[in-house]
Structure 1
Amino acid sequence: MRAAVVAGLGSWLPPRVVTNDELIARLDTTDEWIRSRIGVVTRHVIEPGAATSDLSVEAARRALRSAGVPGVGGVILATTTPDRPCPATAPEIASRLGLIDVPAFDIAAVCTGFVYGLGVGAGLITAGIADSLLVVGGDAYSTILNPQDRTTSVIFGDGAGAVVLRAGSPDEPGALGPFDLGSDGRLADLITVRAGGSRQRSSRDVVPPPGDEFFQMEGRQVFANAVARMSEASRNAVKRQGWAASEVDRVIAHQANVRILDAVSAELDVPRDRFVSNITDVGNTSAASIPLALAHGVRTGELRAGQKVLLTAFGGGLTWGATTLVWPELSLAE
């Protein structure tokens, strides 16, 4: 039997850092509110002219160096902020990495995108369609946020993370375990950018209502759904792997906000100190959230070879998902 095995990991954050002080100078909020409700102190944002592909290429290069390979057989990009509505951004990332004539495509599952990408990549590898792949989570949310909206501008940051998947055996460290994935399109309006698609066409003849070009989120309903769905998916994935929740050494959950992480910890009855978190320094980075947290865990020593790891995420769509793995021996490349 073939399995998809994590063989390399890379991450990239744009150099520019935006502090809470910079935001409260123009928004009706306070540093105490942002820290206590969201858990963010700083976030990274791209400079004008930069794009998601720039972040993703840097993260992917580091993942390839971490794996010690010059290339892979395909690229999957999870993103909500593609460089352009058409075409997909993944082919450009592949070409900039020197990967020509390989399959490359985008996945749009918002903050769940990276877990969905891992699932798709695992399916391609186990089916024998690919022997190796890059799965990238990259987002530049600063490009779709309303700078005057204090409910979203304080939460999100930009960044990218990537893993190299290779074919291997199910019993080796790094092999991705069973997936639990789901969606509920009835609640699509809870997390959305309404304008710019085929429903509200990008046209000089159709002027969208003010604000529809920006990201919007219904915070209270999102909170309740995020906790319930991440907890449910996590329990299912752990059970399918044959583990008990108490056996999980590290949880890498989507870094939505600290209160959601606290609530998921309580729901799963997994101690909060087993949750790797970097939201304080980078904010909610959407599809980049989990790979950036993985890299953070390796750097800090919280994530070590042999640990039983749970990955879980929730995002727009609504979408959610979880999977498991035993963390392999690997090093980061800067």
Structure 2
Amino acid sequence: MKSSITQGVKLLATGSAVPDLCISNELISNIVDTSDEWIFNRTGIKERRVLSGSTSLIDIAALASTNALNKAGISALDIDLIILATSTPNDLFGSASQLQAKIGASKALAFDITAACSGFVIAMVTAAQFIQNASYSNVLVVGADVLSNWTNWSDRRTCILFGDGAGAAILQSCSISNNNLLGFHLNTNGRKFDQLNIQYEYSNTDGNFFSPGLKGNFNYITMNGKEVYKFAVSKVPQSIQYCLDSLNLSVEHIDWLLLHQANERILNAVSSRLMIPSEKVISNLAKYGNTSAASIPLALNEAIEDSRIQSGDLLVMSGFGAGLTWGTLVFRWNP
């Protein structure tokens, strides 16, 4: 079968943004029965950022996007497509159009992807397909979530984990010989959706004309931590190995492993199963907690800004979470 790929994909630049309000473990210990030591030993998290006042998801997504655009040296008017990976939109119908307007990218098509903690990886793969078949040349991919809006701050099992943030990446078409995005693997197990979700619950209130008394609301985040851990440490290494095998690469070729920043125990278990040394694992979990779709681009941007990631480095990114979904993307950083 003839390949439909006519263009390569280059990761041009990244950007990120987090709220100003910092919530420490000590502060959370004043709300629920916990402590800084208990939280850090079990999660690796010391603090997280939370939106406050009138600041919105779109505000931090726009800051991350502008940061990436400035680094890339291109205008918002050069963007052909915006993909916003979020599970906490401003509008249930989608928020990408608001982001398009906020940054002035009036020529871009914009739409949302809802895949929680796997959202950024899935959005990057989606963007790459549009570029590789020559539909678009410049694509802005944003991962942003405001999980604080859906956190039960009296639930010790979940309130210690989550924070807010945004990260952005600009992908651009290039020659196939200069292609940076080398391979991917995506998967879903919908039978396990209830292990991590925000359920819509009906209640005996007003309802509507056709279903009186059946109106409801979305609840808070619920999670079966043990099941999510078992899922992540089983499926993520398999996904990474599948990608490497398909590219005739070995674990030794990996310069950096960038996993969704969910829990330090998961990061350690996945890297251990793959026999990847800890110094090759990128993590900013201690500062931000689990920021869902924002976690990978946020950590990626910081690692690039800190010059840890060098030109020519091979990166493996893996997201995993609600759905249950998981996915891996392999790319080479050649700015």
Q: Deviations over 1:216-262 (max 9, x none)?
A: 11100000101112111111112222211111010111001100000
Are 2:269 and 1:263 aligned?
yes
Contact 1:15 1:44 in 2 (8 A): yes
22-31 or 49-58: bigger deviation: 49-58
Unaligned runs of 5+ in 1: 330-334
Contact 1:74 1:104 in 2 (8 A): yes
Which residue of 1 is the match for residue 144 of structure 2? 138
Are 2:214 and 1:206 aligned?
yes
Task: Name the count of aligned residue pairs.
Answer: 323
Which residue of 2 is the match for residue 85 of structure 1? 92
Contact 1:231 1:267 in 2 (8 A): yes
CA distance in 2, matches of 1:202, 1:9: 46
Q: Deviations over 1:170-199 (max 9, x none)?
A: 4437x1111100001000001111127xx8
- Look at both structures and tell me which one has the larger radius of gyration over its CA atoms: 2
1:146 CA drift (Å) = 0.5
CA distance in 1, matches of 2:107, 2:193: 35
Are 2:10 and 1:5 aligned?
yes
Report the 3-state secondary structure (helix = DSSP H, G, I; strand = E; otherwise coil) of the residue aligned with 1:179: strand
CA distance in 2, matches of 1:245, 1:281: 28
1:150 to 147, 156, 163: 156
TM-score, length of structure 1 as denominator length: 0.93
CA distance in 1, matches of 2:332, 2:186: 19
Which residue of 1 is the match for residue 236 of structure 2? 230
2:66 to 56, 61, 66: 61
CA distance in 1, matches of 2:203, 2:259: 33
CA distance in 2, matches of 1:221, 1:58: 35
Are 2:165 and 1:166 aligned?
no
Going from structure 1 to structure 2, the CA distance change for 1:206 and 1:224 (only over 3 Å counts) comes to same
TM-score, length of structure 2 as denominator length: 0.92
Q: Deviations over 1:49-105 (max 9, x none)?
A: 32211111110011111111002101000011000212x100110111111242110
Aligned runs of 1:270-289 on 2, under 5 Å?
270-289=276-295
Contact 2:8 2:178 in 1 (8 A): no
Which residue of 2 is the match for residue 50 of structure 1? 55
Q: Deviations over 1:114-150 (max 9, x none)?
A: 0000010000111111111000000000000011011
Are 2:21 and 1:16 aligned?
yes
Identical amino acids, percent of aligned pairs: 33
CA distance in 2, matches of 1:269, 1:233: 15
Higher strand share goes to which structure? 2
Going from structure 1 to structure 2, the CA distance change for 1:200 and 1:241 (only over 3 Å counts) comes to farther
Contact 1:56 1:136 in 2 (8 A): yes
Q: CA RMSD in A?
A: 1.8
Which residue of 2 is the match for residue 247 of structure 1? 253
Which amino acid in structure 2 is aligned with residue 74 of structure 1?
A: L
1:97 to 99, 103, 112: 103
Report the 3-state secondary structure (helix = DSSP H, G, I; strand = E; otherwise coil) of the residue aligned with 1:96: helix
1:122 to 125, 128, 149: 128
Which amino acid in structure 2 is aligned with residue 75 of structure 1?
A: I
2:82 to 53, 75, 78: 75
2:187 to 182, 186, 201: 182
Unaligned runs of 5+ in 2: 1-5, 208-212
Going from structure 1 to structure 2, the CA distance change for 1:186 and 1:122 (only over 3 Å counts) comes to same
